[in-house]
Every structure is written in structure tokens, then in C-alpha cells.
Amino acid sequence: MGDVEGLKAQLEELKVEALTAFGHAQNVADLEDLRVNYLGKKGALTLILKGVGKLSAEDRPMIGQHVNAVKDALSDALDRVGSALSKLAQQQRIEAERIDVTMPARRRIAGVIHPVQQGLNEMTAIFAHMGFDISEGPEIEDEFHNFDALNIPESHPARAMHDTFFIDALADAPMLLRTHTSPVQIRTMKKFLESGQEPPLSVVAPGRVYRCDYDVTHSPMFHQVEVFSVDRGLSLAHLKGVLQHFLTTYFEKDLPIRLRPHYFPFTEPSAEVDIGCVFCAGQGCRICKGSGWIEVLGSGMVHPNVLKAVGIDAQAFSGFAFGLGVERLVMLKHGIPDLRLFFENDVRFLRRMGA
């Protein structure tokens, strides 16, 4: 009988202890630990149950009832405290994740295309619309493509004037950063012929070029667009027509253009191309130095030696070509005074001028 009373007392003590502990649980996880401690397979209540086996047959049912009652009481308490705790947790989460819908939205800053890239895109598109293919060449070139094949032999002063960045100038076959996009003429024509095709061939070649030079109007890296066309019977008239269309389209106004005799090794005859000053409409101003004209690019009829260098019959075919500085044209179109603005990457400038 003493055992029965002892067990009852133990059960009662356990119940009080467990309920107190449940009441102090801070969260659902703590409560789960307590459930395991008291009601689990190795829990305190189970331990007491083991004592029941030692009791006499008539005492067992009575204690069994007690045990079940305590079990029920603890389960009920667990349910109650559990749902209270999870409700509390939910409220805390809602509080923590509350959004102030009246707060000003964070500004999303959209990127813009760099004004030089934008210019390149516009120019390339104009030629693409005229039916020119777009071609590109490597920025690291050899002397053959950058100079020799373009009729600029070793001894030629133009070769020294190009302010070339050489890569290992002392090597047997030194490589260099291309000083212009004209080598793309050579590479494209060779590839075209190698693929078994015959002119006509009309190409626009945009890209980066490099010269060892830096001031208000020169940057060691800048961009050019090279344009050329080879066919039977091409003349200066075709050159001038393409130039006229390109320049009036790019500047979005009817501009007078003029071809001024000049010299380039890779064209004969050669001409520099002027447009009527976009700032004073040809009246004469500070920017055109009173002449009413602004020089925009170099051009000419492809030199027979260049056609020969790639294996085109210079008797049967002729070509025109020109090359322009992209930064220069973008500056003229938008009235940008200093080339260095393009490369300083002041976002206020880029955002205003970019597209």
C-alpha cells in the first residue's frame, strides 16, 4: 500500500512540476523539449510507469487510472500552451515584417548606353540599312594588316605618324594595337574571296583603335567606323552619294558636304570630307574657325595596291572607302566640347548624353 501512495505522490509532484515548466516555456521548440522530457519514451512519466509493474494486481488499475489522468492533463496543457505560443510567434513575425506602405519607394536607377556606343550603334545601323554587311576585326593586329597590305610600307612616313603601340616591338613579327579600322578591309576582303565569292562587297566595320596620344581631342583608345565597297565601276560619285546619305541621316539635317583633296596611302584619289558647320550653319564661327566647314572624315577610292594585296583584279574592280572617328562625330552632333568627358565616366554626363 505504501508503494501505491508513494507512486500517487510522485505522480502529483510530476504533474505540478511539468505544468509549471510548460507555463514557463518561451517558444514552441522549448515546449517540444519539455513534452519529450515528460511524456516521451524515456520521459519521467514512463519511468514512473515502470514502477507500476511491481505493484500487486489489484493496485495496478487504480494507479493506471492516475497515470492516464496525469497524461491527459499534461497533454491538454501542452495543446493549450502550444497554440498560445504559436499564436504569439505569428504575431511577433507579423510585427517584425510590417511594411510601411507610405514610405517613398527606393529609386531604381536604369543604366544607359554609353554615348560613344550609342553613336556607334546609330552609325552602323545607317550603313546596315543601306545594305552594308557588318564586320569586325581583331584589336591586336600584325604589321601586314595594319600597314603593309594598306600600301603603307616600312619606310613610309605615315607609318611613323601613326603613334603605334607595339607589343614587343623587337620581336621578329611584332604585334601592335591597331591604329585604325582599315585593316578590317584587308581581313574582310580576304575572307570574302577565300569563301569563293566575288565582289560586289559592301562592309561597315566599327571598332576600337589605339594611338599613343592624349589631349583635348585625342585619347589613346578611341573608336572608328570603317566603310568600304568594292564592285565593277564604282566611282567618286558613289562615294559622295553614300557620304551624303550617311551624314545627313546621322546629323538629322540637310548638310552640305565637300570633298577636299588629300593624301592617304590606301586610297587614290583621296579626299577629306567636310560638312557645313553644324554650329553656325556655314556662317563662320569660332568652332569652324570662320570657314563655315568642319572636317569629319577621310575617304577615297581604294588604292589598286590594296586590291592587289588581297588578290582582287584592280583592272576589273574598283572600290571606295572611308574611315571616321566616332567620338568626333558624336561630339559634333551633341555639342560636346571635350573628348575626355567620354572617358572620365562622370555618371551625370553619361546619363544626360546616353540613351
176 vs 157, 163, 222, 268, 309, CA distance in Å? Answer: 17, 11, 15, 26, 20
Instruction: Report, in Å, the least distance between residue 264 CB and ligand DAH.
Output: 4
Instruction: Report, in Å, the least distance between residue 271 CB and ligand DAH.
Output: 8
Which position among 322, 331, 339, 350 is part of the footprint of ligand DAH (CB under 6 A)?
A: 322
Instruction: Report, in Å, the least distance between residue 158 CB and ligand DAH.
Output: 9
Interaction residues for ligand DAH, span 284-303 (CB under 6 A): 298-300
How far is 144 from 152, CA to CA, in rounded Å? Answer: 9
Angle 296-300-305 (CA atoms, 0-180°, nearest 5)?
140
Q: Which stretch binds ligand DAH (CB under 6 A): 58-66, 137-145, 245-253, 318-326?
A: 318-326
Per-residue interface string for the shown chain with ligand DAH, residues 210-249, x marking contact by CB under 6 A: ----------------x-----------------------
Q: Does 323 bind ligand DAH (CB under 6 A)?
A: yes
The amino acid occupying position 137 is G
How far is 39 from 341, CA to CA, in rounded Å? Answer: 77
Q: Which stretch binds ligand DAH (CB under 6 A): 120-128, 193-201, 319-327, 340-348?
A: 319-327
Instruction: Report, in Å, the least distance between residue 300 CB and ligand DAH.
Output: 4
**3-state secondary structure at position 224:** strand
Q: Output the nine-digit C-alpha cell for 34.
A: 519539455
How far is 47 from 41, CA to CA, in rounded Å? Answer: 9
Is 321 or 353 the residue whose CB approaches ligand DAH more closely?
Answer: 321
**What one-character DSSP code corresponds to residue 300?**
E
Per-residue interface string for the shown chain with ligand DAH, residues 141-180, x marking contact by CB under 6 A: ---------------------------------------x
How far is 332 from 322, CA to CA, in rounded Å? Answer: 18
Is 43 or 206 the residue whose CB approaches ligand DAH more closely?
Answer: 206
* 201-210 and 133-134 beta bridge pairing: parallel
Instruction: Report, in Å, the least distance between residue 242 CB and ligand DAH.
Output: 12
Per-residue interface string for the shown chain with ligand DAH, residues 175-214, x marking contact by CB under 6 A: -----x-x--------------------------------
Q: Which pairs with CB-CB distance under 8 Å and at least 24 residues apart come from 139-144?
A: 139/177, 139/178, 139/207, 139/208, 139/209, 139/210, 140/167, 140/175, 140/176, 140/177, 140/178, 141/175, 141/176, 141/177, 141/178, 141/183, 142/173, 142/174, 142/175, 142/176, 143/173, 143/174, 143/176, 144/186
Is 210 or 322 the residue whose CB approaches ligand DAH more closely?
Answer: 322
Give the DSSP H/E element, type plus range, for residue 270: strand 267-276
Number of residues that bind ligand DAH (CB under 6 A): 11
Q: Are 214 and 288 in contact (CB under 8 A)?
A: no
Is 11 or 188 the residue whose CB approaches ligand DAH more closely?
Answer: 188
Is 226 or 274 the residue whose CB approaches ligand DAH more closely?
Answer: 226
Q: Which stretch binds ligand DAH (CB under 6 A): 101-109, 186-194, 195-203, 317-325?
A: 317-325
Instruction: Report, in Å, the least distance between residue 267 CB and ligand DAH.
Output: 4
Give the DSSP H/E element, type plus range, for residue 60: helix 60-96
Residues binding ligand DAH (CB under 6 A): 180, 182, 226, 264, 267, 298-300, 321-323
